[in-house]
Amino acid sequence: MSLAEQIDALPAPVLKRLHDRGFDEARLVQRAATIGVERDARNRLSGRVEPPAPDDIATAPVAGTADHARCRERGLSALSRGEVALCVLAGGMATRMGGVVKALVEALPGRSFLDLRLGENAALERLVAREGAHVPLWLMTSEATERPIRDALGPRLDGERCATFEQNVSLRLTPEGALFFDEDGGPGVYATGHGDLPDALRRSGLLDRFRARGGKTVWIANLDNLGATVDPAILGWHLAHGGPITVEVVDKVGSDRGGGPVRWNGRRVITEEFRLPRGFDPSTVPVFNTNTFLVDAAALSALVMEWTYVEVEKQIGDRKAIQFERLLGEITAALEPRFLRVPREGLASRFLPVKDEAELERRRPEIEAIAKARGMLG
């Protein structure tokens, strides 16, 4: 039985579940034919790749300077007009924190990651309360995280000021290109990556309604990076310098590795390290991507691009599975970015990633200090 026939033979409720979440059968069948054969060519950038030019990376305005004051004032004005929405990436397969949805893990005693993001949102609204403005909080969830997050939000969910929307799904394959079935006999459904955000957000209708109300900027950040709060000065810098997208980057320290800015065929882009051409020295890129983006809402709404779906091999129990994922940083291949170096140390830090329980234990003192300083604890 061909892959297309296997998919068509799935129960109708399963097919509806897939198609409601952006599943594209024809695209998966096309990719399946290339498993292994073209993996390296598909995953790596082709053409000329060079380190970023010295003037490609700007530095965020420093508190206490005239530039910071100007940028902060401009950012506060935009916030007071209701022109900014915060979009938090809270999807995935809920596998890294002992099987618990990360949003509901206690980042601080008695306060989950979700609680602290809600606290950030409340602090922002206090900042612009005199204008009666709101900063919508949207959470991109997945099948694995949607219900637990919605249950935790309870009456706060109103579909506009606080809303969730689900990212896309696809089907895992065997290394031979057939459907991968889980131990319970069902097809292996998985979330296809943060690169789902533009399509999933448009599908939700949230972006169109936000723009209709005068919304201008979508601030995108990882749930687990509690340093990446909405900062009026950074917002003001983004607005003052124009362009459809600003990407926050931080200096590499020690053995840090990660995706970052490069020049690809002369154009600025963000790319993951594993997508660099063989022979390219990652140490020539002094900063890396924090996955925090300020994006022009109109440009995001109009975005049309052919995404690269990277081929990833996963270990599922004692078996190998193939899945195809897309990365949000690739949005910079269609929208010309500006790179803004932000702090990663002290109370000004904008980079506090938490990938697992051990890292959370190490970072709790920093998270607590920053949460207090930025009003996230109420």
**Which long-range CB contacts under 8 A does 179-183 form with residues at least 24 apart?**
179/3, 179/6, 179/7, 180/316, 180/319, 180/321, 180/322, 182/316, 183/317
Lowest mean pLDDT across 42-46, 95-99, 270-274, 344-348:
95-99
Q: Look at the block and give the residue holding tokens 């723009």.
A: 211
Instruction: Name every residue whose Cβ is closer than 8 Å to that of residue 127 and which is 6 or more positions away in sequence.
Output: 76, 79, 232
The residue ranges of every structural domain in the chain are: 3-30+48-373
Q: Give the predicted TM-score (pTM) of the model.
A: 0.94
Question: What number of other Cβ atoms are within 10 A of residue 91's Cβ?
Answer: 30
Confidence of residue 286 (pLDDT cuts 50, 70, 90): very high
Which of 125, 129, 127, 107 lies closest to 116, judged by CA? 107
* Inter-residue contact 267 to 336 (CB < 8 Å): yes
Rg of the chain in Å (alpha carbons) = 21
154-205 pLDDT, tens digit per residue, is 999 999 899 999 999 999 999 999 999 999 899 999 999 999 999 999 999 9
Dist CA 117 CA 230 (whole Å): 10
* Inter-residue contact 266 to 48 (CB < 8 Å): yes
211-256 pLDDT, tens digit per residue, is 999 999 999 999 999 999 999 999 999 999 989 999 999 999 887 8
Confidence of residue 98 (pLDDT cuts 50, 70, 90): low
In CATH terms, 3-30+48-373 corresponds, of 3.90.550.10, 3.40.50.1360, 2.60.40.1120, 3.40.50.300, to 3.90.550.10
Confidence of residue 93 (pLDDT cuts 50, 70, 90): low
Left if phi > 0, otherwise alpha if psi is -120 to 50, otherwise beta: which for 171? beta
Output the CA angle 197-41-269, nearest 5 degrees. 45
Question: What number of other Cβ atoms are within 10 A of residue 95's Cβ?
Answer: 10
